[in-house]
Amino acid sequence: DGKIDQFDMVPIGYSSIPEITYGISFGGDIKGFDFSVLFQGADNVSFNASKKTKRGFQEDGSAIEYLKKYSWTPERYASGAEIKFPHLSATASQVSNYLNSTLWIRDASYIRLKNIEVGYTFSGNLMKKAGLQSARIYVNGNNLITWSDLFPGEDPEIPSYNADDYEPYPIVRTVNFGVNVKF
């Protein structure tokens, strides 16, 4: 019909449900030290950027820094600065900037260091003198590193929605320290 509009849309990318999921774990122990590591990932999956990611503004009116840094402005354009995103807007007034496109439908394939634990077990005569069979100290961490092409702060394990009003939950990283004692 000679014009580009919503009737020219075609599917982009994959479903938000991964076609492939995988994981690998390994561990070992030597001379009282022990460790375990778990990597997990997914492939053939796409992610629809959230409203906050597309529009770039927080509840308090501040802008997300990486969007601010690379969004179009007349000044950035005139200076020849690198531009990766359209002009920021707090509302949907610039509707064409926020339509699903290859800019906003992202490859959500990822590899994540899901869990790692390192420990040391004390045993022997010193433990027996203290009235213990053994004691183990350890540190572990979850979701420590994620390699993906999503925007900063987006978690590829959280499903994306086609709704305009959902917000992503940031990646939650935890580090634990502990002691196990056997009497």
Q: DSSP secondary structure string, 154-173?
A: --TTSPP-S-TT--PPPPP-
Mean pLDDT lowest for which of 82-96, 126-140, 146-160?
Answer: 82-96
Give me the mean pLDDT over the 27-52 stretch. Answer: 91
* Per-residue pLDDT tens digits for 90-123: 665 566 666 667 787 889 999 999 999 999 999 8
Give the pLDDT confidence score for residue 86 in this predicted structure: 81
- pTM of the entire predicted model: 0.75
- Residue 100: count of CB within 10 angstroms of its CB: 15
Enumerate long-range contacts of 83-88, CB under 8 Å, 24 or more apart. 85/56, 88/55, 88/56, 88/57, 88/63
CA nearest to 104, candidates 45, 48, 59: 48
Q: Tell me how far apart the alpha carbons of residues 167 and 158 are, in angstroms, rounded to a whole number.
A: 10
Buried b (16+ CB within 10 A) or exposed e, 47-70: bbbbbbbbbbbeeeeeebeebeee
Give me the mean pLDDT over the 42-64 stretch. Answer: 72
CA nearest to 156, candidates 36, 25, 40: 40
Going by pLDDT thresholds of 50, 70 and 90, the confidence category of residue 129 is confident
Beta strands in the chain (DSSP E): 20-30, 33-43, 46-48, 105-107, 110-123, 134-148, 174-182
Q: Mean pLDDT score of the chain, rounded to an integer?
A: 84
Phi and psi dihedrals of 178, rounded to 5? -160, 170
Could you give the 3-state DSSP secondary structure of residue 42?
strand
Q: Percentage of the chain with pLDDT > 90?
A: 39
Give me the mean pLDDT over the 160-172 stretch. Answer: 64
Q: Tell me how far apart the alpha carbons of residues 61 and 44 are, in angstroms, rounded to a whole number.
A: 35
